């Protein structure tokens, strides 16, 4: 489902690509906010000048900078563009997300409200079921005393007229680990010591105030310079773009990438090693092992359930294995992972196999900006097509299916061993499933092979997917 925030983000990406290709971006970039919000046009905020300021910060994010890095409000975007090009080979770990204060609406605090549909009924279940006595009835209307309310929601649950509603702060509500909160000015802030980079705040903010640091410019500049750049496409791309995977790869090659490979080839290696590791740990008496390919999940355990970290598989992700394959075959090339995931940007910061990360949104913008129609491309010849089970990593339970197949084929006697495969899955991380992991850590949940995907449905539901 598309929305205005997504459309604006993609429009800016397309303009950036189009002008970069034309060699005019330095001259046009400072005028883009004005061209989108010219004089005497209707603004989406208080005024067009506020709109223009937000557009400027969105462009800064596309250039790889956060609004917090701005020390001079009069510094032109052209200067940021020049810096991005000059520092294109500089790999400095930075959080992939930031909050633009100018875009944040300072949403009111999450709380329960009694609406005018309240009938002041005789039964008054809201009053009698409130554990803190926070509800009273005045003039045949229920009232909530917010000094006593603990936001348990029992009043809403028992109201026969559905007269009590809950308002939420979308970013705070979406964050599974409580890593985003309001500062003293009511503007959202991300606590990067607790953030798992799942991108749920990025997806849920209706003002698109949570922004992603892009690496578009370094990638486009490398292609422009004629450097060898390898596009490593995640399996979830099969469900995001029109045409066949072979046509998509041809389109990517036409965009300037010297070679294209399936990350699913790395998934085959992940499957092989993860299956072997699972058997080894079960034979050794370990009660449970979890998958390791979802970066957001790994960060969740590392930062919030450290007592469970020794149960996470040590097998590298498909992205890392694919990067190693590409590095071996093309040692001087730049490796660019392309997927729907924000957390992969964080994983790549500490992965020597990966130079840059690009999202499906950015890839779509590149193809649109260059006028490349996927459906009109001749199929790309795949040197080593990936196995179907590896391509299925993109969907929930795909890893489990691949590991089970691997164990059955490579070790047909595994069913006769002193353990039985008992797979479980967590399809999407939220506040409830984050707490569920603590129960797994305490040994209070069934199963011995746990697949965890941060996004509902698997990687196909990633925050930077084109189709959700």
Give CA torsion, residues 23, 26, 30, 36, to 10 deg: 10
Collect all residues with Cβ–Cβ distance below 8 Å to 422 and sequence separation of at least 6: 446, 447, 448, 449
Pick from 451, 83, 448, 70: which is nearest to 285 by CA?
448
238 DSSP assignment? G
Could you give the angle at which helices 216-224 and 77-86 cross, rounded to 10 degrees? 60
- The torsion angles phi and psi of 124, rounded to 5 degrees, stand at 50, 55
Contact between 58 and 361 under an 8 Å Cβ cutoff? The reply is: no
CATH architecture of 220-461: 3-Layer(aba) Sandwich (3.40)
Q: Which long-range contacts (CB under 8 A, 24 or more apart) does 28-34 make?
A: 29/59, 29/77, 29/78, 29/81, 30/76, 30/77, 30/78, 32/59, 32/77, 33/59
Question: Yes or no: is domain 4-106+171-213 CATH 3.30.30.60?
Answer: no
Terminal-to-terminal C-alpha distance of the chain: 6
Helix, strand, coil distribution of the chain in percent, nearest 5: 45, 15, 45
The span from the CA of 298 to the CA of 90, in Å, is: 26
pLDDT in tens, the chain (468 residues): 568 888 899 999 999 999 999 999 999 999 999 999 998 888 888 899 999 999 999 999 999 999 889 999 999 999 999 999 999 887 778 899 999 999 998 888 889 999 999 999 999 999 999 999 999 999 999 999 999 999 999 999 999 999 999 999 999 999 999 999 999 889 999 999 999 999 999 999 999 999 999 999 999 999 999 999 999 999 999 889 999 999 999 999 999 999 999 999 999 999 999 999 998 999 899 999 999 999 999 999 999 999 999 999 999 999 999 999 999 999 999 999 999 999 999 999 989 999 999 999 999 999 999 999 999 999 998 878 888 899 999 999 999 999 988 887 766 666 666 677 889 999 999 999 999 999 999 999 999 999 999 999 999 999 999 876
- The pLDDT of residue 106 is 87
Collect all residues with Cβ–Cβ distance below 8 Å to 214 and sequence separation of at least 6: 13, 61, 62, 63, 64, 362
Contact between 156 and 164 under an 8 Å Cβ cutoff? The reply is: yes
Q: For residue 439, give Cα distances in angstroms to 106, 306, 434.
A: 35, 13, 10
Pick from 358, 276, 261: which is nearest to 318 by CA?
261
- The pLDDT of residue 411 is 67
Task: Report the sign of the C-alpha dihedral through residues 50, 6, 461, 238, in that order.
Answer: negative
Q: Parse the chain into domains and list their residue ranges.
A: 4-106+171-213, 111-167, 220-461
Do the first three CATH levels of 111-167 and 220-461 match, i.e. the same topology?
no
Specify the CATH class of 111-167 in words.
Answer: alpha beta
Contact between 221 and 88 under an 8 Å Cβ cutoff? The reply is: yes
- The pLDDT of residue 79 is 97
Place of tokens 């791309």: 237
Collect all residues with Cβ–Cβ distance below 8 Å to 320 and sequence separation of at least 6: 266, 347, 351, 353, 354
- The pLDDT of residue 95 is 92
Contact between 381 and 387 under an 8 Å Cβ cutoff? The reply is: no
- The pLDDT of residue 65 is 95
- The pLDDT of residue 367 is 97
Q: For residue 264, give Cα distances in angstroms to 236, 261, 307.
A: 9, 9, 31
- The pLDDT of residue 447 is 94
Pick from 110, 109, 113, 121: which is nearest to 156 by CA?
113
Residue burial 148-163, b: 16+ Cβ < 10 Å; e: rest = ebeeeebbbebbeeeb
Q: Which tokens in the block code for residue 326? A: 């590409």
Pick from 345, 462, 466, 298: which is nearest to 394 by CA?
462
The span from the CA of 361 to the CA of 173, in Å, is: 24
Whole-prediction pTM: 0.92
- The pLDDT of residue 173 is 94
Q: Which tokens in the block code for residue 438? A: 């603590």
Collect all residues with Cβ–Cβ distance below 8 Å to 421 and sequence separation of at least 6: 404, 407, 414, 448, 449
Pick from 120, 105, 237: which is nearest to 182 by CA?
105
- The pLDDT of residue 239 is 81
Pick from 300, 91, 109: which is nearest to 199 by CA?
300
The CB density around residue 455, as the number of other CB atoms within 10 Å, is 26
- The pLDDT of residue 196 is 98
- How many CA atoms lie less than 13 Å away from 324 in the CB half-sphere? 11
The span from the CA of 200 to the CA of 175, in Å, is: 6
């Amino acid at each position: 489902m598309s929305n205005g925030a997504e459309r604006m983000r993609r429009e800016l990406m397309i303009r950036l690509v189009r002008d970069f290709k034309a060699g005019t971006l330095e001259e046009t970039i400072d005028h883009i906010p004005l061209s989108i919000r010219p004089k005497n046009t209707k603004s989406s905020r208080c005024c067009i000048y506020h709109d223009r300021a937000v557009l400027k910060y969105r462009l800064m994010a596309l250039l790889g900078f956060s609004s917090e890095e701005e020390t001079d409000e009069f510094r032109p975007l052209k200067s940021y563009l020049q810096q991005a090009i000059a520092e294109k080979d500089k790999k400095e770990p930075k959080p992939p997300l930031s909050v633009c204060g100018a875009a944040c609406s300072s949403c009111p605090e999450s709380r329960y409200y009694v609406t005018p549909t309240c009938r002041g009924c005789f039964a008054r279940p809201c009053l009698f079921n409130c554990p803190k006595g926070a509800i009273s009835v005045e003039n045949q209307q229920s009232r909530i005393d917010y000094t006593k309310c603990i936001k348990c929601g029992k009043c809403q649950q028992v109201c026969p007229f559905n007269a009590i509603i809950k308002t939420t702060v979308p970013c705070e509500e979406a964050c599974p680990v409580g890593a985003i909160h309001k500062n003293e000015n009511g503007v959202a802030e991300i606590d990067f010591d607790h953030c798992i980079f799942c991108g749920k705040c990025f997806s849920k903010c209706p003002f698109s105030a949570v922004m992603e640091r892009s690496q578009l410019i370094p990638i486009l500049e490398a292609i422009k310079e004629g450097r060898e750049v390898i596009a490593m496409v995640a399996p979830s791309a099969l469900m995001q773009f029109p045409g066949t995977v072979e046509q998509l790869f041809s389109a990517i090659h036409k965009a300037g990438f010297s070679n294209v490979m399936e990350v699913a080839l790395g998934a085959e290696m992940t499957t092989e090693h993860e299956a072997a590791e699972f058997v080894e740990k079960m034979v050794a008496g370990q009660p449970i092992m979890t998958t390791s390919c979802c970066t957001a999940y790994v960060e969740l355990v590392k930062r919030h359930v450290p007592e469970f970290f020794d149960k996470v598989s040590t097998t590298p992700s498909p992205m890392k294995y694919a990067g190693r394959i590409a590095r071996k075959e093309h040692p001087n090339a730049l490796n660019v992972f392309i997927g729907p995931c924000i957390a992969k940007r964080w994983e790549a910061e500490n992965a020597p196999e990966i130079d840059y990360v690009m999202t499906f949104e950015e890839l779509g913008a590149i193809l649109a900006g260059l006028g490349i129609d996927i459906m009109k491309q001749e199929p790309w010849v795949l040197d080593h097509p990936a196995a179907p089970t590896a391509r299925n990593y993109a969907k929930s339970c795909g890893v489990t299916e691949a590991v089970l197949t691997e164990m059955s084929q490579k070790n047909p006697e595994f069913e006769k061993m002193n353990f039985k495969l008992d797979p479980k899955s967590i399809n999407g991380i939220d506040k409830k499933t984050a707490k569920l992991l603590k129960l797994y850590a305490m040994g209070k949940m069934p199963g011995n092979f746990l697949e965890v995907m941060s996004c509902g449905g698997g990687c196909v539901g990633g925050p930077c997917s084109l189709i959700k």
